A = this chain, B = another copy of it.
Amino acid sequence: MNSFKGNDIISTELMTKQEIEKILDVAASMNEILKMKTKAKLLEDKILAVMFFQTSTRTRLSFESAMLRLGGSVLGFADAKVSRAAGPRAETLEDTVRTVDKYCDAIVIRHPESGAARKAADYSRVPVLNGGDGQNQHPSQGLLDALTIWSEKGTLDGLTVGIVGDMKETRGMHSLMHCLAKFNLKLLLAGPKEISPEPAMIRFLEDSACSYEVTEDVEGSIPAMDVLYTTRLNKEGADSDEAYMELLHRYPRIDLNLLKNAKKDCIVMHDLPRTDELGLQILPEVDDTPHGKYFDEVEYGVAVRMAMLALVLGGVE
């Protein structure tokens, strides 16, 4: 296993199982710090730059909270429009990165284009963390999902993890599957066939440690699941508004009726937000049942990002 110190975190795809376990392990101890409601002064002299070319509530604020909880500072932009990075004479990403890396000790970037985080890392002299690039990868999301399962279930091995919904176009889903596939578990991939995994993902799963099954029968798959993970239907991936709306009407919505045959300790997860044109994709009636873990995920997200920051910046070994 390579040390994380000084390195980028762009994708969970090429991470080893040991590397993932290392992050989860450090994140679990960060979670303890969070529970004590205090700061760990591990990164007191460090500055994180947030370069968000797409807006975000969760990812940006979660990384910022993580950095502040570690005693560090944050600067950057939350929106391409408040920088020189937009408009007819917009600076290239390469040049923006070679500028911002002089202001900070690490960068977290979100960008509408797949591959942008990799490109940024190639030009940056400080570690780059991918906060979501196009429909490609969103590693901190995948890792926080893994941490949630690991913490709530005590293990990843031996579980049946249901992935319900858009497995084709959603970067968080890609990162989660690339992450979980390193473990000895079963992925139950359930949803309309239009949004089942791409051939490249299927090949990845074939070559991985996990077993998997693809099915269109969401309801029939529920009873086997230890975890039911879902996400919104990706709108950018649709051919047209009509095609999107048509598929949305067939898209799984999670309510107590759907969960009536679920295991009692099956946890329901979502990367949030859960709002689409039809309302909430998980009904509020699920929120306060023992199934509902989607708001707990948010807290695990801070812990995972604390671990990522502390590791790449050398705050922990």
Contact = CB atoms under 8 A, between A and B. Distances in A.
Contacts of A274: 91, 95
Given A89-B235, A295-B99, A273 B84 contact: yes
Copies of this chain, tallied across the complex: 3
A74 B91 CA distance: 25
A281 to B, nearest CB: 10
A235 B103 CA distance: 28
B272 A91 contact: yes
Contact of A102 (B81, B83, B232, B295): B295
A64 B210 CA distance: 46
B65 A272 contact: no
A45 B73 CA distance: 13
B61 A75 contact: yes
Contacts of A84: 55-58, 273
Q: Which 8 A-B pairs have the closest CB atoms?
A: A91-B273, A65-B103, A57-B83, A102-B298, A78-B82, A64-B75, A57-B84, A68-B73
A59 B90 CA distance: 16
A86 to B, nearest CB: 8
Given A95-B272, A96-B273, 12 more contacts: A37-B105, A47-B68, A55-B83, A56-B83, A57-B91, A61-B76, A61-B103, A64-B75, A65-B104, A74-B75, A84-B273, A103-B302
Interface string A40-68: 00001101010000011110011011001
Contacts of A73: 68
B45 A277 contact: no
A103 B275 contact: no
Contacts of A103: 61-62, 64-65, 298, 302
Contacts of A79: 81-82
27 contacts: A37-B45, A47-B69, A55-B84, A56-B83, A57-B85, A57-B99, A61-B77, A61-B100, A62-B102, A64-B75, A64-B103, A68-B73, A68-B75, A79-B82, A84-B273, A88-B277, A89-B232, A89-B273, A89-B276, A89-B277, A91-B274, A91-B275, A92-B280, A95-B273, A96-B273, A102-B295, A102-B299
